[in-house]
Amino acid sequence: MADAPKPRLAVFKFASCDGCQLTLLDCEDELLPVAARLDIANFLEASKATSDGPYDLTLVEGSITTEGDARRIKEIRAQSTFLVTIGACATAGGIQALRNFADVEEFRRAVYARPDYISTLRTSTAIADHVPVDFELRGCPISKEQLLEVIGAFLGGRRPDVPTESVCVACKRRGTVCVMVAHGTPCLGPVTQTGCGAICPTFHRGCYGCFGPQDAPNTDSLTQQLRVLQMPPDAIRRVYRTFNSNAPAFRRASEAARAEAPTP
Ligand code: SF4
Ligand code: SF4
């Protein structure tokens, strides 16, 4: 009896740096077993050989920043049974979403010698703002272990077990001294989703929120604590505006801080 066909995997890129796709290649020891169970049908980062959909599992990296990309993601969605977005760009618009708070025409004139050649949207937005998404994997870049969990869950026909608690919980689990309490270092860990193992506090730095907002982030309380640490309103505004500035919870927190800040 012939073997059943393997599920077909596709990986697509939009506006992004490719780091989250590279996480799949970084799997190294686990990559061959994964490749043995999936037919890698479309993954330009790994192979120039591609084949058309439909696809059973599609991983999408990057944000939507052009009209062409807004059309392309709809075509990809139509060809995909399960669509998973990977990384801060795909789940929250990425660092390029800083344009959402500024005048993109001014950027275009300042950066490009021929701005008339550049066609772009005024905003950078998450994939889920354009099409239904079955699962969002956070991080900048994503965690290899969480990516393998998502792929394993897909192959096993179950929902991925990816924690949504805060980085603080990871700090406590590994016995890391709290940099905010012990040293007064500003830290976004209380409102940021875990997944990194609290790397930054473990190396005596505050978390800067690269995994984006956790399930129920209390940004009002954290903002109050940042004020206690003597951070000026403008600095508080900027602390929420990094890789996940357009994630709703961080956007609201930055706008609330902006209301008090002297500069736009
Ligand atoms: S160092 Fe940051 S992430 Fe860790 S417990 Fe303190 S506030 Fe939370
Ligand atoms: S501690 Fe924060 S900034 Fe550092 S890797 Fe983890 S989520 Fe990212």
**Residue 218: which of 182, 165, 171 has the closest Cα?**
165
Query: What confidence category does residue 259 fall into, taking pLDDT thresholds of 50, 70 and 90?
Result: low
**For the segment 37-84, what is each residue's pLDDT rounded down to a tens digit?**
999 999 998 888 889 989 999 999 999 999 999 999 999 999 999 999
What distance in angstroms lies between residue 41's CA and the mean position of ligand 2's atoms? Answer: 33
CA–CA dist 240, 255 (Å, integer): 9
Query: What confidence category does residue 34 fall into, taking pLDDT thresholds of 50, 70 and 90?
Result: confident
pLDDT at 264: 43
Which ligand sits closest to the CA of 176?
1
Atom of ligand 2 nearest to the CA of 194: 7
**For the segment 149-192, what is each residue's pLDDT rounded down to a tens digit?**
999 999 999 999 999 999 999 999 999 999 999 999 999 999 99
CA–CA dist 52, 47 (Å, integer): 14
What distance in angstroms lies between residue 213's CA and the mean position of ligand 2's atoms? Answer: 11
Ligand 2 pocket mutation pick from 167, 171, 194 by most atoms within 8 angstroms of CB: 167
What distance in angstroms lies between residue 193's CA and the mean position of ligand 2's atoms? Answer: 9
Q: At what angle do helices 248-258 and 219-228 cross, to 10 degrees?
A: 40
261: pLDDT strictly greater than 80: no
pLDDT at 137: 96
**For the segment 200-256, what is each residue's pLDDT rounded down to a tens digit?**
999 999 999 999 999 899 999 999 999 999 999 999 999 999 999 999 999 999 999
Contact 199, 139 (CB under 8 A): no
Half-sphere exposure of 143 (CA within 13 A, CB side): 19
Contact 62, 85 (CB under 8 A): no
Q: Does the pTM exceed 0.75?
A: yes
Query: What confidence category does residue 263 fall into, taking pLDDT thresholds of 50, 70 and 90?
Result: very low
